[in-house]
Amino acid sequence: MRLVFIRHGESNATVGKFIGGPRTCSGLSDLGRDQAAALADRLKRTGELGPTALIASNYARAIETAEILAPALGGVPVAIDADFGEHDPGPECDGLTFEAFIDRYGRPNWEDDPYEITFPGGETLADFHYRVGRAVHRVAHEHEDATAVVVCHGGVIDATFRQLLRLPMSGAFELRATNTSITELSRIRVGRWQLVRYNDAAHLDGLPIGTLAD
């Protein structure tokens, strides 16, 4: 079973430096659409994925990215799965600028207790990991001996990495998925996954560097 993750293109939330949760996400920036189009051109040319399923999180930036990619993936329909959404900040924090969030709540400690409340009214890190793990487990069983492409978020890729490669849930983790990069894992036997590639973004050559998230 091949499980391929594609991070969405650059988002309006990143450019605007605000927390773009599921309630306030407004989709891709102009550069984000260019990034997705560059990946679509690559996939159409190479045919390297050939998925049997194309899944997007319920965030506008992931759905928009998946819709740009779909024609290059044989026109497979986009299925929306909210369980692949980014770490949900909850209604109190969703839409706040990063500066306003820090002024109000301080800088969260993401590296210690995964059960600590870092987004007041939102998910803990443990909640987030449980949701993503449940989604990965379900998709892996629904698409045995097939390829599922999931268009999602950097945090989702991070959480999947930690779970499938048996890494700690929390702690410093300096891998960062680039917008529209490809990360691929292959299940070689029950309970055992192999990392095939991580952060493959060769198609972005020649495009401007995107806005860096805080």
Question: Phi, psi at residue 158, to the nearest 5°?
Answer: -60, -50
Question: Following DSSP, what letter does each residue of 77-115 receive, concatenated?
Answer: PEEE-GGGS-----TTTTT-BHHHHHHHH-----SS-TT
Q: Say what the pLDDT of residue 112 is.
A: 87
Distance of CA 171 to the CA centre of its chain: 19
| Cβ contact 192:185 at 8 Å | no
Q: Say what the pLDDT of residue 185 is.
A: 97
Positions of the chain with pLDDT under 50: 214
Q: Which sequence spans correspond to the domains of the chain?
A: 2-201
Q: Say what the pLDDT of residue 191 is.
A: 86
Question: What CATH homologous superfamily does 2-201 map to?
Answer: Phosphoglycerate mutase-like (3.40.50.1240)
Q: Say what the pLDDT of residue 39 is.
A: 98
